[in-house]
Amino acid sequence: MIRIVMIWLALILPANAGQSLFNGKNLDGWVQHGGKARYAVENGAIVGRSAPNTANSFLCTKRAYGNFELEYDYKCDDGLNSGVQIRSNVYEHPTKVEWAGKSRQIAAGRVHGYQVEIDPDKPDRMWSAWIYDEARRGWLYPGLDGGDAAAFTDQGKKVYKPNEWNHVRVVCRGDHIQTWLNGAPRADFHDGMTGSGLIGLQVHGVGGRQEPLSVRWKNLQVKELEE
């Protein structure tokens, strides 16, 4: 009987099915790095709330991912900048990173790396699902790795859903990185600086603002891929 059940499961399940990064009940499997934003679980979603006078905060997976397909839904308050880190790292000691003849000192405990932008706070710059290199090189796509910023913004205004749940899909395979927002293709470029790292949920610093702003994530699923 056990053998029959195993064969049946093998037939109905994909060979490399995705797995949930969030159990819907608590933050098991996640750890916070940097900043004092507050993370909690409410109604089956992870909620990040800003805190005054603190640095960017990141709730990160405890393990690294290299080649993968990531999907999630998010809803973000207007006025709050946020994002999802991919292939990102955090070091115990200050570390210098180098690229193209340039270098930057990364502070101990500072999350850095690729970020899939959540950016509802500047309607004239609708860059959600843009790729930013947090604490390293800045804007990558559109940016250092190509892309048309004006066209990206125009498309973003059409596909982003203010104050609603938005769906993001990210595929990282080798040096090829792609994103989709609500089914529309967004970033598509090649960058090989970091091949693997943590997935993290960012709450950006808000300066001295006392009233908290929030961002929510749910349905976080990752499927590991072969290169």
Domain count, the chain: 1
Q: Is residue 87 part of a domain?
A: yes
Output the pLDDT for position 27. Answer: 98
What is the spatial distance between Cα 30 and Cα 40, in angstroms, rounded to a whole number?
A: 11
Q: Is residue 7 part of a domain?
A: no
175-184 — which CB contacts under 8 Å span 24+ positions?
Answer: 177/86, 177/114, 177/131, 177/141, 179/116, 179/129, 179/131, 180/129, 181/128, 181/129, 181/156, 183/159, 184/155, 184/158, 184/159
Hey, CA dihedral for 44, 220, 12, 182, is it positive or negative? positive
- Pick the closest to residue 91 from 51, 136, 27 (CA basis): 136
206 in Cβ contact with 52 (< 8 Å): yes
What is the spatial distance between Cα 74 and Cα 82, in angstroms, rounded to a whole number?
A: 10
Q: Is residue 138 part of a domain?
A: yes
Q: Is residue 176 part of a domain?
A: yes
166 in Cβ contact with 153 (< 8 Å): no
What is the spatial distance between Cα 21 and Cα 190, in angstroms, rounded to a whole number?
A: 26
For 144-202, the pLDDT digits (tens) are: 999 999 999 999 999 999 999 999 999 999 999 999 999 999 999 999 999 999 999 99
Question: Which residue range forms the structural domain that includes residue 186?
Answer: 19-224
Q: Which residues of the chain have pLDDT under 50?
A: 1-16
- Pick the closest to residue 218 from 146, 166, 179, 149 (CA basis): 166
Q: Is residue 8 part of a domain?
A: no
Q: Is residue 2 part of a domain?
A: no
What is the spatial distance between Cα 6 and Cα 8, in angstroms, rounded to a whole number?
A: 5
The DSSP code for 107 is: P
Sequence length of the chain is 227
Output the pLDDT for position 18. Answer: 86
What is the spatial distance between Cα 216 and Cα 20, in angstroms, rounded to a whole number?
A: 16
Q: Is residue 6 part of a domain?
A: no
Domain CATH number, residue 76: 2.60.120.560
**CA count, 13 A, side-chain hemisphere, 84:** 28
Q: Is residue 9 part of a domain?
A: no
What is the spatial distance between Cα 205 and Cα 58, in angstroms, rounded to a whole number?
A: 11
